Amino acid sequence: MIQTQHKDVVDLFVIGGGINGCGIARDAVGRGLSVELAEMNDLASGTSSASTKLFHGGLRYLEYFEVRLVREALIERETLLRAMPHISWPMRFVLPYHQDMRFEGNTPTSKVLNIVMPWMKGRRPAWLIRFGLFLYDNLGGRQILKGTTSLRLAGTPEGAPLQDRFEKAYEYSDCWIEDSRLVVLNARDAGSRGARINVRTKVVSAEQVDGHWHVTVEAQDSGERRLIVARMIVNAGGPWVENVIRNTVRINSTEGVRLVRGSHIVTHKLYDHDKCYFFQGEDGRIIFTIPYETDFTLIGTTDADHTDVDAKPVCTPEEQAYLLDFVSKYLTKPVTKDDVVWTYSGVRPLYNDGASSATAATRDYVLKVDQSAGAPILNVFGGKITTYRKLAESALEKIAPFFPSLGDPWTAGVALPGGDFAVDGVGALNDQLIAQYPFLSERWASRLVKAYGVEAAEILGDAKTKADLGRAFGADLTEREVRWLIDNEYARNAEDIVWRRSKLGLKMTQQEIDLLDEWMAAVPIVPFLQNAV
C-alpha cells in the first residue's frame, strides 16, 4: 500500500470537518500555526448540516439559567451577521401566547415557580415570557436586530394562519444561517490561509511517538494511506469524539458525550408571510416553523437520545407525527404527512453532564486537554452553531501554552469568503448582479447572492447568455457553478452540491440529480497524494 509522509511536522492536526473543526482550523492558521484537517466524509456531512439553521441565543435556555451561554450567543449573532451577510440574515419570530403553555417539568425555573406560584400548576405566566424576552433583547448589547414587540393577532398576516384562540403574540429577532455553507466557507478561508483541508479522508490511527502524534489517514475512494506527524491533535469529531478518544488515539478518559437526535420536517409552504413561529407545547417543549427555500416551511426540532453513533440518524415516523401534531394544534389548517416533502435528522454531541433528559442536557461546550499519552490532544464536546467562533477562540486559549508564539484573536469582524459587503447590502447586490447578467431571473440571482455573495459575479465570469454557463442540470444549476464548487468548495458528488452546498435537491428531480452525479464522476479531482508536501 502506498504511504507517504510530510517532510515537516504540522503544529495542529484537526479531526473532523464540521463547524467546530473548520472554525478551529481557520482561527489557528490565522494565528500562525501550521494546520491540517481530515474529514472522513464531506464537510458538514453530519451534525453541522442538520441544524435548525439559526444563529440564536437560545431563548428557552434561560429557563435552565444558562445565562452565560445565552449572553455569549446573543453577542455572537451580530458579530457573525456582519461577517457573512450573504448566508445569514435577520428574521422575526412570532411567539403566540395562551394560558395553557407549560414548562418542561424539570427546568430550574419551573421548580422555582412551582414553589412560589403553585396555583399556576406548571403553566408559563405571560409576565415571565415577557421578562425572558426583555433579557433576550438586552443581554447581548443588540445594535442591528429589532427588539421585542407585542402583537394583537386579529386581522394581521401573522394571525391569519393561526387558530382563533390565539389572540396575542410577542415578536422578537434572531438570525437565519445557511449552516453547511458556513462550514464550507470556514474551511475555504482556512485553506486560503495555508491549512490543508482533506475531505473523504479517514483517520485510521494516531500514536504518540517521542512527544509527537503520528497520524495515519486513508483516502476513502482509493485506500491510499499517508502518515502525518503533528505536535498536537484537536479532536472535533462531533458525535464520534468519544470514539476517537477510545479507539483512535486510545487514551484513558472519563469524558464522554450524550448523543441527542434532533429531527426536522420540511413541508410545502404553510403561510405567505416571511416570519417564523415559535410554538410552545403543552408538554413544555418548543418548535419553530420557518420559511424555507422560498417554497417550503421548515419545522423542528425534536430531542431524543440516540444510542448508536454509527446508526444514521433519521426522522422516525413517531417524530414526524409528533411535529405534525404539534404544529396542527396552532394552525387553522391541519398539517399532514402528505404535506411533507423532506425530512432530516442530526445528532448533537452534547457533553455528558448526567442530565435527566435529552432536552435538559447542557448545550454549552466543554474543552479538555489531555496529555496522558505524552503528546497533547484537545477534545471538543458539545457546542452550538451560533457560538462556533467563540468555541474556536476558547480552543486556541487551551492550545496557547503549547505554542508560545501563537498570535492574537483575529476572527471577530473578518468576513468569510463572499461576505465582504454591508449587512443590508443584499438587495443592492442582487440588482447589481442582474444588471451585469440580464439573463438571470430574480429568483436565480437571489439564490446566487445568498450562496456566494460578492463571489457570484466571479462564478458567472464573462457569460453573456445562460448557454455560456455550460450544461444545465436543473433548477438553474449550471456547469460553471458546479465546476466552481468542485474547484473551490471541496464538492465531490451530487449529494454534496444539492443537499449541502445548496438545497437544490428540493427542486431537482431524482433523474436530474443522478445525471449530475454521473457528470461529476467524470471530472478529474486533485489526487489524494498530491496533498502531501
| 138-178 tens-digit pLDDT | 887 788 999 999 999 999 999 999 999 999 999 999 999 99
31 vs 140, residue with greater confidence: 31
Alpha-carbon torsion (461, 465, 468, 474), positive or negative:
positive
Beta carbons of 43 and 490 less than 8 angstroms apart: yes
Q: For the chain, what's the residue count?
A: 533
112 vs 224, residue with greater confidence: 224
Beta carbons of 417 and 485 less than 8 angstroms apart: no
How far from each other are the two terminal CA atoms of the chain, in whole angstroms? Answer: 19
**What's the DSSP call for residue 423?**
T
Confidence of residue 528 (pLDDT cuts 50, 70, 90): very low
3-state secondary structure of 289: strand
Confidence of residue 45 (pLDDT cuts 50, 70, 90): very high
pLDDT in tens, 332-374: 999 999 999 999 999 998 887 655 445 545 567 899 999 988 9
457 vs 100, residue with greater confidence: 457
pLDDT in tens, 370-410: 998 899 999 999 988 999 999 999 999 999 999 999 999 99
* Region 9-37 average pLDDT: 98
Which residues, including other chains, have CB under 8 Å from residue 98's CB and lie 6 or more apart?
165, 166
Confidence of residue 109 (pLDDT cuts 50, 70, 90): low
Beta carbons of 52 and 298 less than 8 angstroms apart: yes
Residue with cell 407525527: 321
Query: What's the whole-number average pLDDT of the chain?
Result: 90
What proportion of the chain, given as a percentage, has pLDDT over 90?
74
Picking from 162, 314, 350, 333, the residue whose alpha carbon sits closest to that of residue 239 is: 350
The answer, yes or no, to whether residue 2 has pLDDT greater than 50, is no
3-state secondary structure of 277: strand
What integer pLDDT is reported at residue 57 of this predicted model? 77
What integer pLDDT is reported at residue 97 of this predicted model? 86
What integer pLDDT is reported at residue 524 of this predicted model? 84
Confidence of residue 473 (pLDDT cuts 50, 70, 90): very high
3-state secondary structure of 206: strand
